[in-house]
Amino acid sequence: MNISIDLLPQRVKAKERGGVPVIPVAGACTVIVAASFLTFMYVDTKSSVQSLEQEVAAQTEVRNTAQQEFLTKTTGMTEYNYIDYYTNMNTLLDTIYKDTIDLKERVYMLLPDRAEVNSYSFLNNGDLSMQITFHSKGDAAIYLNRLLNADLVTSAEVQTISTSNEDLLYQSQFTLKLDTIVGEES
């Protein structure tokens, strides 16, 4: 059997019993502060995520609008894609009509020396109208003969020949019919 002997006065014992335990109170305060901090961080992070989601949605809407505007501008015939449109049209027309630039060069190669073309009007059906300045009436006759013997010309005629007295130049108006359809034979 154990006998306890208390030699301390009664006042000291009362103080020991009446004191608040420091470690459990400090632990509880730490838990409360940590829980409050974590709750604040959760709410703050959640609101940040929501604001980022709204910003991403807004940026996505801006991107979709810009993409739609781009498609609108590049679909069909617009000022942004007319080069492709005309290139494709030229390719298609080249499968139907002979190259008009080649026809023009071939008609110009038949011109006599010192002759100048003042006007050149060509239609895809083969009608060609030209006004040419010659230095003699004979040059106009030579050019008409060359045109009639060319394989690309179906018909040719001189509409008018006029002269200016001071320059001694002859203005001639020619009307031609050219083979313009691919595969067309004269």
Tens of pLDDT, residue by residue over 56-99, are 999 999 999 999 888 877 776 666 667 777 787 777 766 666 66
Q: How far apart are the C-alpha atoms of 108 and 176, rounded to whole Å?
A: 13
> d(Cα 7, Cα 35) in Å, to the nearest integer?
46
Average pLDDT, the chain: 82
Cα 171–Cα 174–Cα 156 angle in degrees, nearest 5: 145
- Rounded-to-integer distance, Cα 143 and Cα 170, Å: 13
Yes or no: say if 128 and 175 are a contact pair by the CB < 8 Å rule: yes
12-53, pLDDT tens digit by residue?
A: 544 455 556 788 888 899 999 999 999 999 999 999 999 999
Residue 174 banded pLDDT, cuts 50, 70, 90: very high
At 60, the amino acid letter reads: T
Residue 5 has pLDDT above 90, yes or no: no
Whole-number pLDDT of residue 78: 63
Alpha carbon 1 to chain centroid distance?
Answer: 104
d(CA 172, CA 156): 13
Q: 152 vs 94, which has greater pLDDT?
A: 152
| Single pTM value for the model | 0.48
Gap between the Cα atoms of 4 and 58, Å rounded: 79
- Identify how many contiguous H helices and E strands the chain contains and give both numbers: 5, 4
